[in-house]
Amino acid sequence: MTSELVLTEQTPLFEAGAPEFAAAVPAPQRRAARGRAPVAEITVPLRKPVNTLAIVPKSQRITSLGRKSYNVLLFEAQSQGLDKDVFSAPLERIIRGVDFDSNDQELIKKHLRAMVSTTVEWQSPTTGEGTTWNVSGLLAHARLSKIRGQVWVEWSYAVNLKQELLQPTVFARLSLEIISQLRSHAGIALYEICSRYKDIGRTSRQAWAWWRPVLSGRPENEKTAKLEYRIFKRDTLKPAIAEVCAITDIDVELVEHKAGRFVSELQFLIRPKAREALPPRQPPQPVDLGAVTQARALGIDDGRAEELIETYGQQAFTEGLDALRKRLETAFPEPLRDPFRYLKALLSGEATQRAAKAAAERHEAPATSPADATTAARSEEDRAAQARREARWTEAWIRQRREQIVRDIAGLSAEEQARLSQALLEDMEARQVHPSIRKRLQTSGWQHALVVAEMIRFYAVGAIGDDWDRPTPEQLLAIAGQLGDGTPTGR
The tens digit of pLDDT for each residue in 282-291 reads 556 676 677 7
Burial of 193 (0-12, 13-18, 19+ CB in 10 A): buried
Does 259 have pLDDT greater than 80? yes
Does 23 have pLDDT greater than 50? no
Does 373 have pLDDT greater than 50? no
| CA gap 441, 434 in Å, rounded | 11
**Residue 9 confidence class, pLDDT cut points 50, 70, 90:** very low
Task: Decide if 267 contacts 203 (C-beta within 8 A).
Answer: yes
Better-predicted residue by pLDDT, 473 or 153: 153
CB neighbours (10 Å) of residue 458? 20
- For position 305, what pLDDT does the model report? 81
**Residue 100 confidence class, pLDDT cut points 50, 70, 90:** low
**Residue 219 confidence class, pLDDT cut points 50, 70, 90:** confident
Better-predicted residue by pLDDT, 103 or 447: 447
| CA gap 454, 460 in Å, rounded | 10
Does 19 have pLDDT greater than 60? no
Read off the pLDDT of residues 29-52 as tens digits, 9 standing for 90 and up.
Answer: 443 333 333 333 335 788 888 878
| CA gap 328, 70 in Å, rounded | 35
Residue 5 phi, psi (nearest 5): -85, 120
Q: Which range among 17-21, 89-93, 128-132, 238-242 shows the weakest confidence by mean pLDDT? A: 17-21
CB neighbours (10 Å) of residue 448? 15
Better-predicted residue by pLDDT, 225 or 379: 225
Does 336 have pLDDT greater than 90? no
Does 299 have pLDDT greater than 70? yes
| CA gap 59, 111 in Å, rounded | 14
Does 427 have pLDDT greater than 60? yes
- For position 17, what pLDDT does the model report? 34
Sheet holding 150-156, edge to edge: 5-8, 141-147, 150-156, 87-90
**pTM for the predicted model, two decimal places:** 0.56
In the DSSP assignment, the letter for residue 52 is G
Q: Which range among 105-114, 116-125, 174-183, 419-428 shows the weakest confidence by mean pLDDT? A: 116-125
Q: Nearest-CA neighbor of 202 among 255, 278, 149, 265?
A: 255
Across residues 239-248, what is the average pLDDT? 88
- For position 253, what pLDDT does the model report? 93
Q: Which range among 23-27, 82-86, 122-126 shows the weakest confidence by mean pLDDT? A: 23-27
Does 248 have pLDDT greater than 50? yes
- For position 433, what pLDDT does the model report? 82
Q: Which range among 139-143, 342-346, 347-351 shows the weakest confidence by mean pLDDT? A: 347-351
pLDDT > 90 fraction of the chain, expressed in percent and rounded: 11
Q: Residue 25's Cα: distance from chain center in Å?
A: 32
Question: Cβ contacts of residue 412 below 8 Å, gap of 6+?
Answer: 420
- For position 137, what pLDDT does the model report? 81
- For position 285, what pLDDT does the model report? 67
Across residues 65-74, what is the average pLDDT? 88
Does 395 have pLDDT greater than 80? yes
- For position 338, what pLDDT does the model report? 81
- For position 181, what pLDDT does the model report? 84
Across residues 248-269, what is the average pLDDT? 92
Does 407 have pLDDT greater than 80? yes
Across residues 194-210, what is the average pLDDT? 90
**Residue 5 confidence class, pLDDT cut points 50, 70, 90:** very low
**Residue 349 confidence class, pLDDT cut points 50, 70, 90:** low
- For position 367, what pLDDT does the model report? 43
- Averaged pLDDT of the chain: 75
CB neighbours (10 Å) of residue 180? 20
Better-predicted residue by pLDDT, 407 or 24: 407
